[in-house]
A and B are shown apart, each in its own frame.
Chain A
Amino acid sequence: MKNLIKEFTKGIIKENPTFVLALGLCPTLAVSVSVANAIGMGLAATFVLLGSSIIISWVRNFIPAKIRIPCFIVIIATFVTVTELCLKAYSPVLDRALGIYVPLIVVNCIVLGRAEAFACKNNLSRSFLDGLGMGDGFTLALVLISAIREFLGSGQLLGHTLIEGFEPVFVFGMPSGALLVIGLLLGFFNFLKNKKI
Chain B
Amino acid sequence: MTNNFSVSGSPHIHKQGSISRIMWTVVISLIPAGIAGIIIFGWDTLWITLAAVVAAVLTELIFGILTKKKVTVLDGSAVITGVLLAFNLPSGVPLWLPVVGAVFSIAIGKQVFGGIGQNIFNPALVGRVFLMASWPKYMTTFTAPFKFDAITSATPLAALKAGRVLEHISYLDLFLGKHGGCIGEVCILALLIGAALLFIKGYISWHIPITYILTTAVFVYIFGGNKLFGGDWLFHILSGGLILGAFFMATDYVATPLTAKGQLIFGVGCGLLTAVIRIWGGYPEGVSYAILMMNAATPLIGRYTKCRIYGSR
Contact = CB atoms under 8 A, between A and B. Distances in A.
B98 to A, nearest CB: 14
Contacts of A171: 130, 133-134
B108 A170 contact: no
A167 interface: yes
11 contacts: A169-B134, A169-B135, A170-B133, A170-B136, A171-B130, A171-B133, A171-B134, A174-B133, A176-B133, A180-B108, A184-B112
Interface in A176-193: 176, 180, 184, 187
Which secondary structure dominates where chain A touches chain B?
A: helix
B83 to A, nearest CB: 23
Which secondary structure dominates where chain B touches chain A?
A: helix
Contacts of A169: 134-135
A187 B108 CA distance: 12
A172 to B, nearest CB: 8
Contacts of B108: 180
Interface of B: 108, 112, 130, 133-136
Contacts of A167: 135
Contacts of B136: 170
Report the interface size class on chain A: 10 to 19
A77 B77 CA distance: 55
A167 B135 CA distance: 8
Interface string A147-170: 000000000000000000001011
A170 B112 contact: no
Contact of B134 (A170, A184, A187): A170
Given A171-B130, A184-B112, 10 more contacts: A167-B135, A169-B135, A170-B134, A170-B135, A170-B136, A171-B133, A171-B134, A172-B134, A176-B133, A180-B108
A180 B129 CA distance: 13
A187 B134 CA distance: 23
A23 to B, nearest CB: 23
